[in-house]
Structure 1
Amino acid sequence: AFITAVSTTNSGIYGPGTIDGQGGVKLQDKKVSWWELAADAKVKKLKQNTPRLIQINKSKNFTLYNVSLINSPNFHVVFSDGDGFTAWKTTIKTPSTARNTDGIDPMSSKNITIAYSNIATGDDNVAIKAYKGRAETRNISILHNDFGTGHGMSIGSETMGVYNVTVDDLKMKGTTNGLRIKSDKSAAGVVNGVRYSNVVMKNVAKPIVIDTVYEK
């Protein structure tokens, strides 16, 4: 990842400011962009080898505040195996055609808040995940946000224990999916205590999706 934090406590990235991943800029040695490499890998059914923008591992109380994240080659923000993450007034903007550019992905973590943020991507706007052999993901609050293009407010496809998720006051415009829970047999588990309220959608192709065979 461009920025990696490991085993930090009470740290963060504070704005105002913009971090540009330049996913659409041609690489000097290959004359193609990260996004073009990702699209080519999809066509050839190969593994995508593109870097994330911000990766936070095994950390406590990490804050993103008043920051704009744009054009990530891959996922914009991943909070993995941690306790305490807040994204507040965070803007994420990447073209809808950019593959696997998730906005914010909490993975096997707890006590997460994403609030007053605006997220438009080429994949999941937010994807809550829990992996096999790692901690459950629990106590997630998604509050007062606006989602533009992207694949929606997602849980999964890794769902090896997701508990206590609250989504309130969410506006979605132009996403392919609205509220989505997806899982596949390789990483399926319990999803419990999920509450959605005050969700407004406009031009959303599939408002509610529950998919238990996501691998297909």
Structure 2
Amino acid sequence: MVSDLETILINNEHRVYDGGLKVVHPGKDIKDGLIYTYFSEDYSFIESFEERSKKVLNDLVNKIISMVKKEKANTVYFHNFSRFDGILLLKHLVCHHCYTLKPLMRNNRLYELSVYSDRRMLFRIRYSLNLLPSSLKELAKSLCPSLGSKGTIDHENVSLDNLEDDREYLIEYMKQDILLLGGIMQKAQEIYYHNFGLDIDVYLITL
């Protein structure tokens, strides 16, 4: 699985307004299948943005768990996991879920976060940049150019005042990032398995 988060800065603290997830199947067209998205302003019945943001993360975590059960895949890749997305997810899981978390750290960098219920691992989150140390834009150009280019967004001008008006554009921007990461990871899995007999979904590979 591949995932992404988008945030805005409120009172010097990043808050998630958009989150998404896609299941990637080896050998299948990456464009097939849904990209599940959760957008803060779709929860208009919740008055507080902070609570809507929390709802985005909560629904994303619950979707990951449901996809683990359905697809029998338990690894989720974020491209900015160690530096950004992982911190937000880690904070959310600690504060709002009763799971046991086991981080794998090296040189002050978070490589993997395993999430357990009792002694059973539910899923693990990994940092794709450790495996493929380049930007999403450059990786997409070299590994899956047919999926198009990475979109652009003026993050500094995204605010609470324009989230609803820019909803469609913001969601499509994130969905394109997720599609590209899915194509990149699908190609990486194919390369590693063909050349080294290693499944990156099973082995933690870093460069």
TM-score, normalised to structure 1, is 0.28
Q: Which has the higher strand share?
A: 1
TM-score, normalised to structure 2, is 0.29
Give the structure, 1 or 2, with the largest relative contact order (CA under 8 Å, sep 6 or more).
Answer: 2
Q: Which has the higher helix share?
A: 2
